[in-house]
Amino acid sequence: MKIGKECIAFHFDDVKEAREHMDLEIIQDFGSFAYGHALYCWDDGHRYLARCRRCGGYVLVQSSEFHGAIDDDYYTDYFPVCGLDEADKLNRLYSGFAIEASFEKRYLMMTNLRLHWSQEKNSDDLG
């Protein structure tokens, strides 16, 4: 696949504005497991590559779920990528927890509808 660009949402300062920009369509569903490891954190989940309908940029999305005693917790990470090749490389190199710990650029995280940047403390509760 031709190398593209990252979704411009990752250049916004406001987390809510960034998430509202992303109008994502799934390009490639990677499923739950690849290259001998899970593509999610916690109890279950999956990853997929999406393209933003607004700017044409790419996002690698990792969804995870923790089956708690009372309520399930949901986690979604939005990683800026430049297309299928970069997304596949990240899938090959990193399990769910490892990509969160190793990703060098700022990415968007949502935990139970609470949105925040990976490297900042500002957040927005969408619930």
Domain membership flag for residue 2: no
In this prediction, residue 45 carries a pLDDT of 86
**Chain centre distance of CA 124:** 17
In this prediction, residue 3 carries a pLDDT of 77
Domain membership flag for residue 3: no
Q: CA 124 to CA 33: how far, in whole Å?
A: 31
Domain membership flag for residue 30: yes
Q: Name the 3-class secondary structure at 72.
A: coil
Q: Which of 52-56, 71-75, 99-103, 108-112 has the highest mean pLDDT?
A: 52-56
Q: Do 100 and 77 contact (CB within 8 A), yes or no?
A: yes
77 pLDDT tier (thresholds 50, 70, 90): very high
In this prediction, residue 121 carries a pLDDT of 45
Domain membership flag for residue 115: yes
Quote the number of domains for the chain: 1
52 pLDDT tier (thresholds 50, 70, 90): very high
- What are the CA-CA distances from residue 50 to residues 16, 26, 43, 123 (Å)? 19, 4, 23, 23
Neighbours of 29 (CB within 10 A): 12
Q: What is the pLDDT of residues 8-17, one digit of tens each?
A: 999 999 999 9
Q: Which domain holds residue 56?
A: 8-125
In this prediction, residue 70 carries a pLDDT of 62
